[in-house]
Amino acid sequence: MKKMLVLATSALMLVACSEKPGYEITGTVNNPALEGKCVYMYPYGDAEAAPIDSAVVTNGSFAFKGTQDSAVLRTLKFSEEVVPRSYGPAGESGIFTATFVLSNAKLQATLDSLSDVTGTPDNDAVAAFRKEIRSMRAEQETLVAALKSEDEAAKREAEQKYDAIDRAVVDKAEAFIGENINNALSGVVFYSFRYELPEDAQNQLVAKAGDVFKSVPGISQIMERLENLKTVAVGKKFTDFPMKDVNGKDRKLSDYVGKGKVVLIDFWASWCPPCRREMPNLVEVYKQYKAKGFEIVGVSLDSKQEAWEKGINDLNITWPQLSDLQGWKNSGAALYYVNSIPHTILVDKDGTIVAKNLHGEDIEAKVAELLK
């Protein structure tokens, strides 16, 4: 009997040892309307990929089980017929969508307007980061009423606080990515903040990143853009281009730049809220320094003449304006690899780029320094 017990125990141990380690994902969906719908698991970054697996939402819950040879990026979401595609703020996925690192571990997923997956150090780190920036953005929401105030002083104060929080969120993202540079999810965060992170910060992060980070979908395109940006980097001479002014007259950027004045090239559009918030600051800097050798050249990414002209009038813009009315296909923006606006380039009296993407008080400080 004792011998049989030993043999039975040995057999159980052999079975246990032969079982492959696997993953278990237990999830909740915080929306009764999604009861009975399928949650799908997709490879991250491939819009054409078929789902790898699916699970039905039952009593607000779902589950996935399987094995994974190595850690990979995956996305949980519903079909677009059930939950239309949406885009969250930088650092977040769309609603009821979560991107995470899948490995052989027990993971917990929450799908909601803001979603997370936890259960491993890499996933937990990103969830903690998102919690921090969500709190910061919640503070921005308290400023919305003041942003619409007819009290100009209160409105301006709210705008400054709002922009300061924006900058703090970007700083937090830069720090997180740098501290988690070997986490594939930090590459996802990097990609989502590609429009907000300063060019020099992006270069520094890429320089210290390894293969895990660089293999994240989308990172290679960012690296290519950063390489291209070296042609219009600080220290390079400005790149000229022809374009019509608001009256339809043919102009060149060189009509204004490299003529002995400090020039701010401002890529903007009348439909761009951050551009409009920044414009009162540019109006004040222009008034203060125009007579001292400062010029601004606006390059509008508008596509309609009427909207462009109305924006100029509404925002009290009095400096030269250029546009080809091609929207995001603006030829000048393409030469300077502009992928978000407002985008500013400060050029010295000789036509050398001395700073990029200055905003707010930083513009006035740099202009004052150059005009000493």
* In the chain, where the domains are located: 20-117, 122-230, 242-370
pLDDT at 227 over 90: yes
Which distant-in-sequence residues (6+ apart) come within 8 Å of 308 by Cβ?
246, 270, 300, 302, 321, 323, 325
pLDDT at 361: 86
User: What integer pLDDT is reported at residue 59 of this predicted model?
Assistant: 97
CATH top-level class for 20-117?
Answer: mainly beta
Q: pTM of the predicted model, to two decimals?
A: 0.81
147-159: average pLDDT? 86
Confidence at residue 331, expressed as pLDDT on a 0 to 100 scale:
96
Q: For the residues 213-232, what does the mean pLDDT come to?
A: 95
* Candidate from 81-90, 237-246, 247-256, 324-333 with smallest mean pLDDT: 81-90
> How far, in Å, are 95, 168, 277, 340, 343 from residue 272 at the CA level?
24, 21, 9, 10, 11
Question: Is the pLDDT assigned to residue 1 strictly greater than 80?
Answer: no
pLDDT at 19: 57
pLDDT at 7 (0 to 100): 47
Q: What is the mean pLDDT of the chain?
A: 92
Rounded to an integer, the average pLDDT of 90-114 is: 95
pLDDT of 38 reads 97
CATH homologous superfamily of domain 242-370? Glutaredoxin (3.40.30.10)
Between helices 273-289 and 152-179, what is the axis angle to 10°?
110
Task: Give the mean pLDDT of 149-163.
Answer: 87
93 within 8 A of 99, measured Cβ to Cβ: yes
Distance CA(173)–CA(315), nearest Å, equals 32
Predicted confidence (pLDDT) per residue in 172-204, tens digit = 999 999 999 999 999 999 999 999 999 999 999
- The per-residue pLDDT for range 255-283, each reduced to its tens digit, is 999 999 999 999 999 999 999 999 999 99
More confident residue, 162 or 11: 162
Domains 20-117 and 242-370 alike in fold: no
